[in-house]
Structure 1
Amino acid sequence: MLKRLRNFLSIIVLVLSGYSLITQNFKLMPYFMFLLGAMVLVTGLIELKRDKKEASGYVCIIVSLFAVYVSIQGFLLN
């Protein structure tokens, strides 16, 4: 189920980023960053669920928290 969610989020992120690049409309950037953070969070959870206690899962979770923080600031400042 997490892999399906990751694939779904990656498709949405790809579509939003492509739209922003083609139209040069960057008003959707906070949404893009929030969904990117959610996708990286799901990736980190998948890594931790594999029972591999490597640093990559923890790094993904930390990066996702930073991306969500940036998106919240983007929502508040715009």
Structure 2
Amino acid sequence: MLKILRFVFTVITFLIASYGLFTEDFTFGSFMIFFLALTMLVMGLEEFKKGHKGMGCLLIAVFLFSFFVSIKGFLLS
């Protein structure tokens, strides 16, 4: 289940980033960061399941920071 979620969030992030890169329209940047944050959350949960607590904590911290940045981006847009 987590692999599927990671794949879906990664593809969505890649598509939004590619759209912004090719069209030079960065209005969806907050959505890209939001889906990137969800990818980091899923990866952190996978690392916790593997028993790698250090990497899991780091990925959860990256998730929290990215989530905060995306929310700020939604509010300021």
TM-score greater than 0.5 by the shorter chain? yes
**1:20-58 CA deviation, whole Å, 9 max, x = no partner?**
0000000000000000000001000000011233x1110
Which runs of 5 or more structure 1 residues have no equivalent in the other structure? none
Distance 1:56 1:5 in 2: 19
Which runs of 5 or more structure 2 residues have no equivalent in the other structure? none
Matched ranges for 1:6-25 at <5 A: 6-25=6-25
Q: Give the equivalent residue in structure 1 for 2:72.
A: 73
Q: Give the equivalent residue in structure 1 for 2:41.
A: 41
Distance 1:18 1:51 in 2: 34
- One-letter code of the match for 2:17? S
Distance 2:13 2:34 in 1: 9
- How high is the TM-score relative to the length of structure 2? 0.96
- One-letter code of the match for 1:66? F
% identity of equivalent residues = 40
